[in-house]
A = this chain, B = another copy of it.
Amino acid sequence: MSENEAKQAGAAPGGERIASLNLRFDFASYADTRRFLDQMADLSKREDYYPDVSFGKTYANISIDGDGQTALQQRNSNFINEMKALAAQLGSS
């Protein structure tokens, strides 16, 4: 999993800018990619948070902008860690 922080930032409560979080997960098969997307959909519904997702046959990119990170933090949501755990369980690299 590669995690880079592109510089499209939103503003944090203190005013400093939060960079967008872009996570890429690579999977061994399309079936694993689909399983991850299905579990991510359930997580999104549970947390009422719907990040922008792009995917192909064996990868998924999740993008969470500064505002999204602020919203998740304010709700004490564990969305990001749960998402990473889902990908890890599916053996993503």
A: residues with CB less than 8 A from B are 30, 34, 37, 41, 44-45, 50-57
Q: What CA separation (Å) do A34 and B30 show in the bound complex?
A: 17
Give 8 closest A-B pairs by Cβ, nearest first.
Answer: A54-B54, A50-B57, A52-B56, A34-B41, A53-B55, A50-B56, A30-B50, A52-B54
Question: Inside 8 A of A55's CB, which chain B residues have their CB?
Answer: 52-54
Given contact pairs A30-B44, A50-B56, A52-B54, enumerate 10 new A-B contacts (beta carbons under 8 Å): A30-B45, A30-B50, A34-B41, A37-B37, A44-B57, A50-B57, A52-B55, A52-B56, A53-B56, A54-B55
Nearest-Cβ distance from residue A50 to partner chain B, whole angstroms: 4
Nearest-Cβ distance from residue A54 to partner chain B, whole angstroms: 4
